[in-house]
Amino acid sequence: MNYPSKLIENAVNEIARLPGIGKKSALRLALHLLKQEKEEIHSLTDALIALREQICYCARCHNISDAEYCMICSSNRRDQSVICVVTDTRDVMAIENTAQYNGLYHVLGGVISPIEGIGPSELHIESLIRRVYGAPEDQPVKEVILALSPTMEGDTTAFYIQKKLRDSGVKISTIARGIPVGGDLEYADEVTLGRSIVGRLAYE
């Protein structure tokens, strides 16, 4: 594409490097920004720079945080004996939105993926092991819930963590796989349907 100005070409190229935004959308966004007040552009760019330069991660669960320990880790209303292991912050937010979980989290920062060159040492797995084995005696970890995506990488990561925690005596569980609420049996794939039968729940 031929751009009428170097400035717009630069901006489009930069915006198009964001995931899920192509050159056409980037041009639309750049032309939108051109029409905005200068202050609005600065409030956007300031927010992005502050985000990147001032962000903290919780020293315990590695979630994004405003202080040394995140709000969840430093809350005394949360059950300190359960740790839910997730891939990233979005998963924490998604689970928090359900209001069904009251334990702590551990954010891995990704999953094991040999193709992308991500091994266990690139993730926060070592600190999870330490959290479990090194828990104080009056506040032991009783359960580790693995809430990873049901992909090959997620399963590999879950298997790796399971092996590492095998000797800890801590209960290890994974979130249930099955038919989504409101989903139709007819349209469920075979693997999901199969898992929903294997993992069936008895009426109490």
Please tell me whether residue 49 binds a second copy under the rule CB under 8 A: yes
Q: Which is nearer to a second copy, 41 or 175 (CB)?
A: 41
* Contact with a second copy (CB under 8 A) among 22, 59, 68, 71: 71
Q: Which is nearer to a second copy, 8 or 129 (CB)?
A: 8
> Could you tell me if 143 and 171 are in contact, meaning their C-beta atoms sit under 8 angstroms apart?
yes
> Could you tell me if 84 and 104 are in contact, meaning their C-beta atoms sit under 8 angstroms apart?
yes
| Residues ≥6 apart with Cβ < 8 Å to 12 | 3, 23, 26, 27, 30
Q: Which of 134, 128, 196, 135 is nearest to 163 (CA)?
A: 128
| Residues 82-121, interacting with a second copy (CB under 8 A) | 88-90, 92-93, 96-97
Q: Taking phi first (over 0 means left), then psi (-120 to 50 degrees means alpha), and beta for anything else, what does residue 99 get?
A: left
Kindly determine how many residues on this chain lie close enough to bind a second copy according to the rule CB under 8 A: 58
Please tell me whether residue 151 binds a second copy under the rule CB under 8 A: no
Cα atoms in the 13 Å half-sphere on the side-chain side of 118 = 15
Name the one range near a second copy by CB under 8 A: 70-78, 119-127, 170-178, 192-200: 70-78
List contacts with a second copy (CB under 8 A).
Answer: 1-8, 10-11, 13-15, 17-20, 25, 27-34, 36, 38, 40-45, 47-56, 63-66, 70-72, 88-90, 92-93, 96-97
